[in-house]
């Protein structure tokens, strides 16, 4: 993860997806209710209400409907991520700032992080000072895509609390995979359809080595997010040996030496990984088509 671009101040390293041009082009949400707070008032972080579901602390200025299944699901997300990836659970606290409206959220972000692009959510890791560890923070607002946005950003936070340096493509691929509700089993229907259409028409070519070379957030466009998701889905859901390659790779990333690209390791399982990926997408498409039939 780069993140030189993400250096907003000498002490701040914003990482994860959306900060600093991590160009994840999500749909613009529908208009949220208008915030009547006077413009001249300084934007502040939500702090009035808080509750904890370890390792997260949710902070807001409105009463969050805590009984919503979303919060149980986010607790399960923590277990799901660590269990499925065979990682030791992180203990670092993740502060989740939930703004009531998009307007308040944007006002705060513009004031605090003026160089950030407009996104619905951000994950930021901020060093506390020499040897002091990091503060892990997610910023977002209570909008229509809150479930998916929180699952995505919290996946970044959960990963980052146990692996300091997750390669950009893998960080996003895993966040895309786990942002989906558990019942979808990691299958993003839109990603399958759009990716296959691009490949079949010749407009897009999958290539793991190219994805692994991406270092700058602005090189990650929606197509790269889809492809990153597809590689993660292939590795976790096709051949047990491919899953082992990914899980071992994550263990290596926890060590001090970077393990290099994953592509050559995957070739030991799939001699032609790109062909295996396309076959996998085709079978997912067929599976989805069966589900769609009456
Ligand atoms: Zn992301």
Q: Could you tell me the pLDDT band of residue 291, with boundaries at 50, 70 and 90?
A: confident
| % of the chain surpassing 90 pLDDT | 68
Which residues keep their CB under 5 angstroms from ion ligand 1?
A: 17, 172, 175
Does residue 29 register a pLDDT over 50? no
Q: How far is the CA of 41 from the centre of ligand 1 (A)?
A: 31
Q: Give the per-residue pLDDT at 21.
A: 31
Does residue 262 register a pLDDT over 50? yes
Q: Give the per-residue pLDDT at 31.
A: 38
In sequence order, which residues have a C-beta less than 8 Å from that of residue 59 and are 6 or more positions away?
Answer: 45, 46, 47, 49, 50, 95, 96, 97, 98
Q: How far is the CA of 153 from the centre of ligand 1 (A)?
A: 6
* Lowest mean pLDDT across 1-5, 14-18, 48-52, 231-235: 1-5
Q: How far is the CA of 174 from the centre of ligand 1 (A)?
A: 9
Q: How far is the CA of 84 from the centre of ligand 1 (A)?
A: 19
Q: How far is the CA of 46 from the centre of ligand 1 (A)?
A: 22
Does residue 276 register a pLDDT over 70? yes
Q: How far is the CA of 6 from the centre of ligand 1 (A)?
A: 14
Question: What tokens appear for 148 in the block?
Answer: 């998916």
Q: What is the mean pLDDT of residues 249-255?
A: 95
Domains of the chain: 7-162 (3.40.30), 182-292 (no CATH)
Q: How far is the CA of 230 from the centre of ligand 1 (A)?
A: 15
Does residue 25 register a pLDDT over 90? no
Q: How far is the CA of 203 from the centre of ligand 1 (A)?
A: 24
Alpha-carbon gap, residue 194 to 205, rounded angstroms: 12
In sequence order, which residues have a C-beta less than 8 Å from that of residue 223 and are 6 or more positions away?
Answer: 195, 198, 204
Mean pLDDT of the chain: 86
- Segment 85-120, tens digit of pLDDT: 999 999 899 999 999 999 999 999 999 988 887 889
């Amino acid at each position: 993860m780069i993140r030189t671009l993400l250096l907003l101040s000498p002490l701040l390293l914003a990482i994860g997806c959306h900060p600093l041009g991590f160009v994840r082009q999500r749909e613009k949400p529908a208009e949220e209710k208008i915030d009547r707070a006077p413009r001249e008032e300084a934007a502040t972080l939500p702090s009035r209400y808080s509750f904890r579901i370890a390792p997260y602390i949710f902070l807001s200025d409105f009463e969050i409907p805590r009984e919503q299944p979303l919060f149980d699901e986010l607790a399960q997300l923590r277990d799901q991520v660590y269990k499925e990836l065979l990682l030791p659970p992180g203990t670092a606290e993740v502060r989740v700032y939930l703004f009531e409206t998009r307007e308040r959220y944007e006002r705060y972000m513009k004031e605090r992080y003026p160089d950030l692009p407009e996104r619905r959510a951000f994950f930021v890791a901020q060093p506390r000072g020499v040897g002091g560890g990091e503060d892990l923070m997610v910023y977002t607002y209570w909008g229509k895509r809150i479930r998916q946005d929180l699952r995505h950003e919290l996946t970044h936070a959960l990963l980052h609390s146990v692996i300091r340096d997750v390669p950009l493509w893998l960080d996003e691929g895993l966040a895309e995979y786990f942002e989906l509700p558990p019942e979808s089993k990691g299958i993003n229907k839109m990603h399958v359809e759009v990716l296959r259409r691009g490949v079949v028409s010749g407009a897009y070519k999958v290539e793991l080595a190219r994805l692994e070379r991406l270092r700058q957030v602005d090189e990650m466009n929606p197509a790269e997010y889809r492809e990153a998701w597809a590689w993660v889905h292939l590795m976790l859901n096709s051949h047990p040996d491919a899953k082992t390659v990914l899980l071992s790779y994550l263990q290596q990333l926890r060590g001090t030496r970077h393990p290099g690209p994953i592509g050559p390791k995957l070739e030991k399982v799939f001699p032609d990984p790109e062909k295996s990926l396309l076959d996998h997408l085709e079978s997912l498409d067929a599976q989805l088509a069966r589900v769609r039939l009456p």
